[in-house]
Chains A and B, each alone.
Chain A
């Protein structure tokens, strides 16, 4: 028989790999003890981790919680752990946590930011976990319970029943009743028709604004009316004038309403039927309340603006393209701090006299514009990674520009850009601490400075930073994990 001829009479069955080439043993050998050098590095790494933990864990875990002043803390440390011991003084946090959370927001109104924060998750759930009924239910249920518990806790802290303007929310039972009814409604919607929950997402910005700043209920309703007008005009004109012109006309009519008619209408309504919550001024906002207000608003607005800028930059229309490129390059070339100073000082000069444009609102607008330039570039990366064939297939099927963008291009480009978008968002959220530079009380610099100005906590150094840092880490890590979940969920290529 010649060597070149071979005929298989039976096909071989699949076998499992040999012991030592699979499971934990293989992983250990490949990743930790691959050779002498690798083994030494593994051992050195373990030693470094050990020392780090041996130093930090006792400091955190043995920390003093039951003291009134820093001196008290030092005394208790020596009493409990002997001379020379170094432990954290967490008592500062148990006394001042509310300032880190709410700044100088009136204590008897703490329930409002707490409720607004709880409802934020209910508003985000249908977007973040689109089409996942059980996750939505679980999330909203958990948030409802926690929110109600915390609302109760903050009342104990204030030690008085909540005050409010006439008609709405005159006592705590009414407020609790309102919160329970709202969460009940949300849960029922999540159970019966989860897609309808996005309606709540749509009205949340105004509801959140109303809860945080208070004032007449007619103000936010007037703003909502403007959006309704925008929508109606758009729908009426879209068929005849196309998407862009119709949207422009809608914005124009809505702007006329907002700038001209709305104030008159809402003032009239308010005098006829006064309803609302105590008005809270922007200058008492501080701590994580401030970070979240700025961060969440800027994140949710910079994504759509970023998408439009990215599309504009790739547009064939020379004017649109030039404006987009100019905006993106200008904003990316200017430090955020410059823009914050612009927000606090310069913007006031350009606005009509006597118009008192809220500082937080100004900061939100500029942080949003700043973030949207970065988001636009990240999304442009996603668009560039999309094969040409996808555009061609969409065109060949007769989809128009906006349909192709919405149904084919954006879902894929955004998926590619998720890691970049989320790291921009994480950066943006951490950058909210920079508002300390324009006199707002951010949790890191602003509140810490205030706490240390107290004679009782004068020399405290590490604890506030560790505390604030830990909360920032938790939020940013959460965003990062969510992006990984999303990438996995949207993975359809099965490579």
Chain B
């Protein structure tokens, strides 16, 4: 792993810039004054107790959730209510969900080629070649003509990752990608994600897989009550947490 991490260079180029961002659900203040800069090539793990707003935060980055105050700039495009900007950002940012969200009425191959064909206007043949390339990369090319319902959870999540990659995204968001999986399948998904990190993908990952955080993350962010409580390099974060809240959280999840 040490050799791999040397390849994982972080550049100075800014990929995502969030300044003074606030979000409310009705009266409930879910995200409070979020300030955050993500450079190209960074692998960030976001953790925190449930309800802390970590999923909401990354869902704001591709505008699945709307923010009410502040600024989010992704790849130089500011997210406003302008649909053109939203579509532009969404086609540059891939997202992997907790419950995979594959399209059950389409085959695996159709799931992968749908967006390239309709959004990128790629010719079908070319889109299928790209799809097969990424399916081989997540090690399930033989499942191309099956339906999502015929695959195991781990396989479905790897398909979901491949589906995002087919759009050639510059940033990948992961929203608890392994939380709905059996223990035996978590590893195969994490391996795929580690491989992706080693290729220099900019990644934001909401997860409780602390092993993954230690192996590939260059920064860990801890959130509670809608705000960023602590962020640090993984080594420092785990060995020497500063805030009381972080210490408590880490003792809860690492305690047993």
Contact among B90, B147, B148 with A395 in the assembled complex (CB-CB below 8 Å) = B90
Contact among A398, A412, A495 with B90 in the assembled complex (CB-CB below 8 Å) = A398
Any B CB within 8 A of the CB of A408: yes
Say whether chain B's binding surface is mostly helix, strand, loop, or mixed: mixed
Contact among A390, A407, A494 with B118 in the assembled complex (CB-CB below 8 Å) = A407
* Docked-complex contact B115 and A398, CB < 8 angstroms: yes
A400-B87, A494-B147 in contact; A412/B105 too (CB < 8 A)? yes
- A-chain residues with CB within 8 Å of residue B115 when the two chains form the complex: 397-399
Identify which of residues 367-424 in chain A touch chain B, using a CB-to-CB cut-off of 8 Å.
387, 389-390, 392-393, 395-400, 403, 407-408, 411-412, 415
Q: How far is the CB of B42 from chain A (nearest CB, A)?
A: 20
Any B CB within 8 A of the CB of A492: yes
Stretch at the interface among B20-28, B93-101, B127-135, B245-253: B93-101
Bound: A262/B115 CA distance, A: 42
Any A CB within 8 A of the CB of B221: no
* Docked-complex contact A407 and B101, CB < 8 angstroms: no
Identify which of residues 78-116 in chain B touch chain A, using a CB-to-CB cut-off of 8 Å.
83, 87, 90-91, 93-95, 97, 99, 101-105, 114-115
Contact among A392, A399, A403, A492 with B104 in the assembled complex (CB-CB below 8 Å) = A492
Among A387, A398, A407, A411, residue most surrounded by chain B Cβ atoms (within 10 Å): A398
Q: How far is the CB of B206 from chain A (nearest CB, A)?
A: 14
Bound: A393/B147 CA distance, A: 17
Contact digits for B64-75, partner A, Cβ 8 Å, 1 yes 0 no: 100000000000
* Docked-complex contact A397 and B105, CB < 8 angstroms: no
Bound: A437/B100 CA distance, A: 55
Bound: A494/B107 CA distance, A: 13
A397-B167, A490-B105 in contact; A389/B62 too (CB < 8 A)? no
Please name the residue on chain B nearest to A415 by beta carbon: B105
Residues of chain B at interface, number, CB under 8 A: 27
Q: How far is the CB of B115 from chain A (nearest CB, A)?
A: 4
Contact among B91, B97, B104 with A398 in the assembled complex (CB-CB below 8 Å) = B91
- A-chain residues with CB within 8 Å of residue B51 when the two chains form the complex: none
Any A CB within 8 A of the CB of B163: yes
Please name the residue on chain A nearest to B64 by beta carbon: A392
- B-chain residues with CB within 8 Å of residue A390 when the two chains form the complex: 101, 103
* Docked-complex contact A398 and B105, CB < 8 angstroms: no
- B-chain residues with CB within 8 Å of residue A398 when the two chains form the complex: 87, 90-91, 115, 119, 167
Please name the residue on chain B nearest to A403 by beta carbon: B118
Any A CB within 8 A of the CB of B243: no
Any A CB within 8 A of the CB of B152: no
Q: How far is the CB of B29 from chain A (nearest CB, A)?
A: 23
* Docked-complex contact B147 and A492, CB < 8 angstroms: yes
Contact among A392, A399, A400, A415 with B97 in the assembled complex (CB-CB below 8 Å) = A392
* Docked-complex contact A397 and B104, CB < 8 angstroms: no
Among B95, B104, B167, residue most surrounded by chain A Cβ atoms (within 10 Å): B104
Among B62, B101, B114, residue most surrounded by chain A Cβ atoms (within 10 Å): B101
A412-B105, A492-B149 in contact; A399/B62 too (CB < 8 A)? no
* Docked-complex contact A393 and B119, CB < 8 angstroms: no
Contact among A392, A403, A415, A490 with B101 in the assembled complex (CB-CB below 8 Å) = A392
- A-chain residues with CB within 8 Å of residue B163 when the two chains form the complex: 397
Any B CB within 8 A of the CB of A493: yes
* Docked-complex contact B149 and A389, CB < 8 angstroms: no
* Docked-complex contact B114 and A397, CB < 8 angstroms: yes
* Docked-complex contact A389 and B104, CB < 8 angstroms: no
Bound: A495/B147 CA distance, A: 12
Please name the residue on chain B nearest to A408 by beta carbon: B103
Bound: A318/B255 CA distance, A: 52
* Docked-complex contact B64 and A399, CB < 8 angstroms: no
- B-chain residues with CB within 8 Å of residue A387 when the two chains form the complex: 99, 101
Bound: A389/B90 CA distance, A: 16
Q: How far is the CB of A296 from chain B (nearest CB, A)?
A: 27
A396-B64, A397-B114, A398-B90 in contact; A493/B149 too (CB < 8 A)? yes
Give 26 CB contacts A-B under 8 Å: A387-B99, A387-B101, A389-B97, A393-B95, A395-B62, A396-B62, A396-B94, A397-B90, A397-B91, A397-B163, A398-B90, A398-B119, A398-B167, A399-B114, A400-B83, A400-B87, A408-B103, A412-B103, A415-B105, A492-B104, A492-B105, A492-B149, A493-B147, A493-B149, A494-B147, A494-B150
Give B contacts to A, CB under 8 Å.
62, 64, 83, 87, 90-91, 93-95, 97, 99, 101-105, 114-115, 118-119, 147-150, 163-164, 167
In the complex, the 4 A-B pairs of residues with the closest C-beta atoms, listed nearest first: A398-B91, A393-B101, A389-B101, A397-B115
